[in-house]
Amino acid sequence: MKPTAAILIIGNEILSGTTQDANIAWMGARLNQRGIPLMEVRIVRDDEEAIVQAVNELRKKYKYLFTTGGIGPTHDDITADCVAKAFEAPIGINVEARKRLEEHYASHTVELNEARLRMARIPVGGELINNPVTVAPGFRMENVFVLAGVPKIMQGMFQSVEGLLEGGKPVLSTTVSCNQKEGDIAAALGDLQKQYADIDIGSYPHMDETPSLSLILRGTDEKRLSAAAQKVAEIIRTWGEEPILEDIQQQKAS
Amino acid sequence: MKPTAAILIIGNEILSGTTQDANIAWMGARLNQRGIPLMEVRIVRDDEEAIVQAVNELRKKYKYLFTTGGIGPTHDDITADCVAKAFEAPIGINVEARKRLEEHYASHTVELNEARLRMARIPVGGELINNPVTVAPGFRMENVFVLAGVPKIMQGMFQSVEGLLEGGKPVLSTTVSCNQKEGDIAAALGDLQKQYADIDIGSYPHMDETPSLSLILRGTDEKRLSAAAQKVAEIIRTWGEEPILEDIQQQKAS
C-alpha cells in the first residue's frame, strides 16, 4: 500500500466548539515531511459505535491511522475499549503499562486507584507507545496508533513512533505570492496544473492581507517543483506584477 | 430525524498542515446554540471520489450537512460538481447566480471570465445561499448546505441560512474549575455521569495552567444542569478545595 495516513480525533469537546483543534495541522505537516500524505481526518463523539466504525473504515482504507483522545482515566475515555472491539481483540491490564504507572505515581506520592489503572488497559496484541510527558502510554495495534489528545502529549508520543513509519519521498513545497485576483489567473493556472500532474498547485486568497493571494505548490521532485513555480511566476508577470518566490523547503510542523 | 449535523471540510490545505482550520469550533458552537449537536466532522482532499462518497454518507446519516471549501474559480474547486454527482443531479450555469456575479464584477470593473463564471455552476434543484462578502453564492440541495471555506465568507453564508434550520432546545453549558487531579475524582465523576445521563460531563486537564482541570457540563435542562454542577462541586470539596463555578450559559461562538 502507498504510504498514506488518516487521523481520527475522538472527543465531544472539539465538536461542541469548546476546544479548538491543534493536532491536525501539526500532524499533517509532520506526516508530509516523511512523505506520508494525510488523506482524511474524522472527528467523532465519545460514542462507542461511532468510534468502532470509524476505526475499522479508516484502518482498512489507509496505510496508517492515528487516533487522538479518549485514553485518560475518566468515564468518557473509551478509546482503548473501542479499538479492541474494532479488532475483535480482548482487552485487559497490560503488565508493562501497569508497572510504568506504578513507578510514576509512587514517585509522585499519588494513589494508583482504579480510575488511573484504566489507563493500563491495552488490547491484547497492542504494543505500548511511550508517553514522555505523563507516562500513561498510548499503543499500536497493527497499523493503528492510539495517541493522547492533549497536544504536548500527542506530539511526544508521535515523535516516539515516527521512526517506525515507512514513508515516501518527503513532500517539498514552495509558495508564490502576489496581489492578483484568483479569477484572473485561474484559467492559466488550471492549464498549468494539467501539464504538471505530479505537482499539487493550490490557490489560497486572503482577505484584508497583502500579498492577497498565495499559490502553494507541493511535490516530491525538486526540479519539477521549481519549474512549475517559475511557470506560475510567468503567469503573474503577464499581469504586470513581479511575484514573490519562496525557497523550496520541506513542510514545517506548526 | 432528531436535529443533528455534520461538517465536511474540503481542501488539501487543511490536511497538509498549511492552513489551521478555523471553521469547526465556530460552526460547532453556533449549531449548539440552536440545539443541533455537531456529531461528526470529516476533512477530505480535493478529490472527486472522496468528496462524493463523504457527501452521500453524511447527508443520509445526519439531519444537516454543511460543506466548506472548494467553490471558488480555480481548477481545484470541484465541490459543486461533486455535490451534483452525489445527488445524481445535472449541473449548469444558474441564471440568478450569473446575474449576481455580472452585477458585482461590472461594478468592480473586473471581467466575468470563464473561470469566474464557474462560480455560477449550481446543481439543478439547488437553492442559492447569499454570500454577503464576495457575492459568489453557496447553495443548498435538500439537507446539504454548500458554503465557502474562507472563515469570514463561511460565517456570512451560515448566518444567512441558520434561520431555516429546525433546531432543538439550545444546549446550555457550565464549567466547574479546580486544581484536583483528574484521576482522583474520575470514579466519583463516572458515578455522577450515570445518575445524570441527560447531562454530558467532560473532564479536560490543562498542562501548565491554573486552574488545572475544567469539568464542562452540557445539557438542555437548566435545572438538571445546575444540580449536576453542584454535585461536581461537592466531589471537589471532598478533596478540600473550593471549586470555581461558572454561570450557566449558552455556548458562545468563538
Q: In this complex, do B207 and A152 lie within 8 Å of one another by their Cβ atoms?
A: yes
Mark the ranges of chain B whose per-residue pLDDT is less than 70: 251-254
Report pLDDT for A252.
61
Burial class (CB within 10 angstroms; exposed 0-12, middle 13-18, buried 19+) of A60: exposed
Report pLDDT for B251.
66
Alpha-carbon span A129 to A142, nearest angstrom: 13
Residues A34-59 pLDDT 10s: 999 999 999 999 999 999 999 999 99
Average pLDDT, chain A: 94
Report pLDDT for B249.
85
Q: In this complex, do A17 and B37 lie within 8 Å of one another by their Cβ atoms?
A: no
B positions 220-249 inside 8 Å of A (CB): none
Coil vs helix vs strand at A140? strand
In chain A, whose CA is at the least distance from the CA of B219?
A16
Residues B7-41 pLDDT 10s: 999 999 899 888 889 899 999 999 988 999 999 99
Instruction: State the nearest Cα–Cα gap between A90 and chain B, in angstroms.
Output: 23
Kindly state whether B188 is in contact with chain A, defined as any CB-CB distance less than 8 angstroms.
no
Q: Looking only at Cα atoms, what is the longest distance across chain A?
A: 70
Q: In this complex, do B216 and A18 lie within 8 Å of one another by their Cβ atoms?
A: yes
User: What band does A251 get if pLDDT is binned at 50, 70 and 90?
Assistant: low
Report pLDDT for A92.
97
Q: Say if residues A100 and A137 touch (Cβ distance below 8 Å).
A: yes
Coil vs helix vs strand at A169? coil
In chain A, whose CA is at the least distance from the CA of B171?
A16
Please tell me whether the overall predicted TM-score, pTM, comes out greater than 0.80 for this model. Answer: yes
Residues A56-89 pLDDT 10s: 999 999 999 999 999 999 999 999 999 999 999 9
Alpha-carbon span A32 to A234, nearest angstrom: 28
B positions 77-116 inside 8 Å of A (CB): 110-111, 113-116
SS (H, E, C) B176-235: EEECCCHHHHHHHHHHHHHHCCCCEEEEEECCCCCCCEEEEEEECCHHHHHHHHHHHHHH
Q: Other C-beta atoms within 10 Å of B166: how many?
A: 11
Q: In this complex, do B184 and A111 lie within 8 Å of one another by their Cβ atoms?
A: yes
A180, three cell numbers: 492578483
Residues A182-233 pLDDT 10s: 999 999 999 999 999 999 999 998 888 899 999 999 999 999 999 999 999 9
Which residues in A lie closer than 8 A to residue B111 (C-beta atoms)? Answer: 184
Cα A183 from chain centroid (whole Å) = 31
Coil vs helix vs strand at A88? coil
Report pLDDT for A9.
97
B241, three cell numbers: 478545595
Closest among B159, B127, B155 to B142, alpha carbons compared: B127
Q: Where are the beta strands (DSSP E) in A27-149?
A: 38-44, 64-68, 91-93, 121-123, 127-129, 138-141, 144-147
Report pLDDT for A156.
96
Closest among A76, A77, A51 to A65, alpha carbons compared: A51
Question: How many Cβ contacts (< 8 angstroms) between chains A and B?
Answer: 212
Which residues in A lie closer than 8 A to residue B156 (C-beta atoms)? Answer: none
Q: Other C-beta atoms within 10 Å of A212: how many?
A: 16
